[in-house]
Structure 1
């Protein structure tokens, strides 16, 4: 399919793209969002396939990485426009002028918590949400549940912070965290700077659900009361607590450490021909 040129801000498709780029309400209503830049677009192609629409700035066509993406998208709709028009759609300064329009994945209603998961309670900052999604994907946690007050996971800012993590995750928006926790068949662990138990004293080799809360207020009192256990992350400095994205990374990779150490111990015992 050849590239179609758009040269006017009054073009109906351009107006639609501008709404998607600038309005969270428009993205939710259309159930579509934008992926901005070569990295996100390439990750989407590798993990999800072709997008409904590929958009490129005129100058970017000469970029080898962009040219490769355009070639892979030959079977889908492709739009080229002047750089000035493209830059009004992009929130990335000094980026490479390439973006995809994608359908926001719709997942099945949240079921019972039976495998490791991340629960986000009213997180406001898109960068924190994206960073946590990235850590979850890297730690092998497949499911993330976002409360109604949490930043929209498929907004451009969260997508950029996630660096492609979204495409390997099952992300539930508007999730009823209280109902999920109440019916969970695995422990639900909440981080709290006022907890007595230490993260490093808990057995994390089996599936758990991690509950992380608002940047300033932490996990809400109602959800803390439902959690199986509250955990603190020990630290030596004078700071009261860590940033929520940093806390999530520490917790998730302590779980990775314990699970990989346990697997390594089993492998060593097997190699030595004796039970663990």
Structure 2
């Protein structure tokens, strides 16, 4: 097990760049996964990581030690001094373990006949991660992000999504109007006024939900490419909802509606 104790170490400098720079992550095509939850979520879909990074204090934590014991023989492990590890960590209380993985890429382009979420200029990484998490939980299979969205694979987005990245095909820098123009299902954009109520709309299959930026909502060019515009009824005094909250409401109303339309299971009791 190699140990790094100096900030002048070339490998450590590279790790720091990957952690802090979106440009460096794109250049290296590498992603840092902070903590056992993300590492295990990755492993369920893609197998072992390229490399594990462990802090001096984290190596003896039971959860980390158990994982290392079963995988150290087949995965490169690098031990870092606590202060160096803490500078890489994306949380206030570091977990003591990270993984370096190659960024997963979809096997093909966006599918024009499958459920999808489209994010138009959502710029807060926490919101992007939360929406990805809701989409995965609701059974959606793909996410398309416009050019000006927060990076899908940034540490903050990964942390907010809690492993949802590995359950979705994530496409970045997408031409959303272009995708919608050829989409073979129903496309729906959220709007604040002049739109049909979410609770009265048809939410059939396949369905593309479009959610817009925190300040401006969905852009007019994207709205024009959708088939339906819906609003979430808000009888209270608030004028709008956080985009992640709005997305969760819409996605799980879709789930509720679909479950309600399914035939009941047969009762085979004698």
Q: CA RMSD in A?
A: 1.4
The question of whether the paired residues in 1 share the 8 Å contact of 2:105 and 2:169 is answered with no
Distance 1:156 1:256 in 2: 29
Q: What is the match of residue 40 of structure 1?
A: 38
Secondary structure of 2:223 counterpart: helix
Cα distance, 1:106 vs. partner?
2.0
**Where does the alignment leave 5 or more consecutive residues of structure 2 unmatched?**
none
Matches within 5 A, 1:1-276: 3-74=1-72, 75-108=74-107, 110-263=109-262, 266-268=263-265, 270-271=266-267
Q: Is the 8 A contact 1:112 1:185 kept in 2?
A: no
Decide whether the 8 Å contact of 1:34 with 1:100 is kept in 2.
yes
Contact 1:54–1:73 (CA<8 Å) still a contact in 2?
A: no
Unpaired runs of 5+ residues, structure 1, are none
Quick one: distance in 2 between partners of 1:249 and 1:113? 22
Aligned equivalents of 2:177 and 2:108: distance in 1? 15
Instruction: Report the Cα offset of residue 176 of structure 1.
Output: 1.0
Gap change, CA 1:43 and 1:180, over 3 Å in 2: same
Structure 1 position 91, deviation (Å): 2.1
Deviations 1:26-70 (A, max 9, x none): 001111111111211122222321110100001011111111221
For the 8 Å contact 2:33–2:101, the answer to whether it is kept is yes
127 and 31 in structure 1: CA distance in 2 versus 1, 3 angstrom threshold: same
Q: Is the 8 A contact 2:18 2:30 kept in 1?
A: yes
Query: Quick one: distance in 2 between partners of 1:94 and 1:111?
Result: 37
SS at structure 2 position matched to 1:230:
strand
Superposed CA deviations along residues 62-88 of structure 1, whole A, max 9, x for unmatched, are 111111221233211110011011111
TM-score by length of 2: 0.95
CA contact (8 A) 1:130 1:161 kept: yes
Are the counterparts in 1 of residues 110 and 171 from structure 2 also a CA contact under 8 Å? no
Superposed displacement of residue 196, structure 1: 2.7
Q: 1:80 to 1:112 in 2, by over 3 A?
A: closer
